[in-house]
Amino acid sequence: MKNKVAVHWFRQDLRVKDNPSLNYLSKKYENIIGLFVFDDVNRDPRLGSASKVWLCESLKHLNEQLNGNLILLKGDPQECLEEILNFFDVEEVSWNRCYEPWVIKRDKKIKSNISEKIKVSSFNGSLLWEPWEILKDDNTPYKVFTPFYKRGCLSKKAPRNPETSKINFFNHNFRSTNICDLQLLQNKEWESQTLKIWQVGEAQAEKIMKNFLEEGIKDYSDGRNFPKKKNVSRLSPFLHWGQISPNTIWYALSKVNDVGEENIEVFKSELGWREFAYYLNYHFPYLQKENLKKNFDNFKWKNDEISFQRWTKGETGIPIVDAGMRELYQTGYMHNRSRMIVGSFLVKNLLIHWKKGEEWFWDCLFDADAASNSASWQWIAGTGTDSTPYFRIFNPVTQGQKFDPEGQYIKKFVPELNDMPIKYLFSPWECPENIQNEINFKLGVNYPNPIVDLKESRKRALLTYEILRRENSK
């Protein structure tokens, strides 16, 4: 079987290590062609701005890993594949699966079309457990995380062990689009600014993981709640694009010693939440667009564009919320604790539809992931199958005091409040005028008044839910 050419179609698996499709092909074929298609035809929704930046950087790295032999094309993958099949003497095409509804639909069609002339194989390169393999005894999908994870996943077979093969990428003379011609970048200041704290690529993913396992995992269970601490992995963008496999992380965790079983288990369960999001998106393909809990369909969301804009800019006048939103805009990332706080604030205090928040995150996050993003927004909004109960409304003042006790996170992203005494840092609207004068600060000038009263808006949210409940019981 040697000396034949096979095509590996890269999608959300931009890595060479532990890549099941590549492993499979490399055992059968001497020469492998690596293809990436920027599909701007079928994609739903379109890539967010941050994702485009990440992808652009990633493709540069991947091309280097392939010694410049990555074939980069733009358009409809079906047509691109046909072109390659006509040019080379291709024996087999293979890829790792994606799980978004639109991709499943697209790939199914492509597979049935080209498998008439050529062998096509697909693999699991991005999940620890296939969504269709985890079902309850009655063969229906789980809706609650804990039984899904513990009984559904952990008691099933262990995840695939990571494996890396030696791969020969074919030195070809086929056309390849210049990365710049994909028009992923708009030469905006924002693009280079956000990238500053990141280095993209497979090698970097491994480095970050190693560093996290040495430094961050130690106090993960507790420390992950504090935005200023270095206890979160920040591997999410790499996981999304497959620059590291969850399997690699899963088994690397098992080899870590002396950091406490609890920390390891909690981090593993976070990988479990990622699985759960993909699982929900697979079994409930409307996850991205509609409430999982249908009884929320009549909820009276507010159409408040002005408040929404101020939320996106981090100008709500609530320090911890603004810090989170500015972290997002400035770094393409937001700490998990802040995500919950700003999410709760948008959906409950402002009564703005979770979909609006989901879309903003989609555009700004380097780790923008359709399944995780939608599932998490539905969780915080209370519209998900297994979500926070509606009466649980985060108090951003308390949250700040608890999880940013010294205010370092707030001050980093909201430097206007640098001199604010800690007593008023989380609620500057309570700072008396004489103290404001002392620190040369004026509320409403140097930093905005809060756009809503926290107590009032909390009451209003509870009332709105109460109305929904009554409407539904009619």
Lookup: tokens for 12: 């959300």
- What residues contact 41, with CB distance under 8 A and at least 6 apart? 75, 76
Exposed/middle/buried for residue 259 (C-beta within 10 Å: 0-12, 13-18, 19+): middle
Nearer to DNA, 77 or 396 (CB): 396
**Which residues are at the interface with DNA (CB under 7 A)?**
136-137, 140, 142-148, 151-152, 225, 269-270, 273, 336-337, 340, 376, 379, 385-386, 388-395, 398-399, 402, 455, 458, 462, 469, 473
Nearer to DNA, 142 or 413 (CB): 142
Under DSSP, the state recorded for 215 is: I
DSSP assignment, residue 214?
A: I
**Token couple for 432:** 């008396």
**Quick one: tokens of 462?**
């509870």
Closest approach of DNA to the CB of residue 372, in Å:
10
How far is it, in rounded angstroms, from Cα 107 to Cα 185?
27
The least distance separating DNA from the CB of residue 147, rounded to whole angstroms, comes to: 4
Nearer to DNA, 20 or 450 (CB): 450
Cβ neighbours for 149, distance < 8 A, ≥ 6 positions apart = 269, 272, 275, 276
Residue type, 22: L
d(CA 139, CA 137): 5
Q: What residue has token string 């690529």?
A: 201
Nearer to DNA, 242 or 384 (CB): 384
Cα–Cα distance, 232 to 211 (Å, whole number): 11
Choice between 4 and 143, CB closer to DNA: 143
Residue 105 Cβ vs DNA, minimum distance, rounded to whole Å: 25
CB of 24 to DNA, least distance (A): 32
Closest contact distance (angstroms) between CB of 12 and DNA is: 21
Nearest to DNA of 389, 444 (CB atom): 389
C-beta pairs of 468-472 under 8 Å, 24+ apart in sequence:
468/295, 468/296, 468/298, 468/299, 468/300, 471/298, 472/295, 472/298
Rg (Cα) of the chain, in Å, rounded? Answer: 24
CB of 222 to DNA, least distance (A): 11
User: Closest distance between DNA and the C-beta of residue 434, in Å?
Assistant: 23
To the nearest whole angstrom, how small is the minimum distance from the Cβ of residue 265 to DNA?
12
Instruction: Tell the smallest beta-carbon distance from residue 304 to DNA (Å).
Output: 21
Q: Which lies closer to DNA via its Cβ, residue 99 or residue 279?
A: 279
How many whole angstroms separate alpha carbon 423 and alpha carbon 401? 9
Q: Of 204 and 336, which has the nearer Cβ to DNA?
A: 336
| DSSP output for 141-175 | ---SHHIIIIIIIITSPPPPPP------B------
Nearer to DNA, 130 or 386 (CB): 386
Nearest residue (CB) to DNA, 146 versus 186: 146
**What is the closest distance, in whole angstroms, from the C-beta atom of residue 466 to DNA in the complex?**
7
Residues 6 or more apart in contact with residue 130 via CB below 8 angstroms: 124
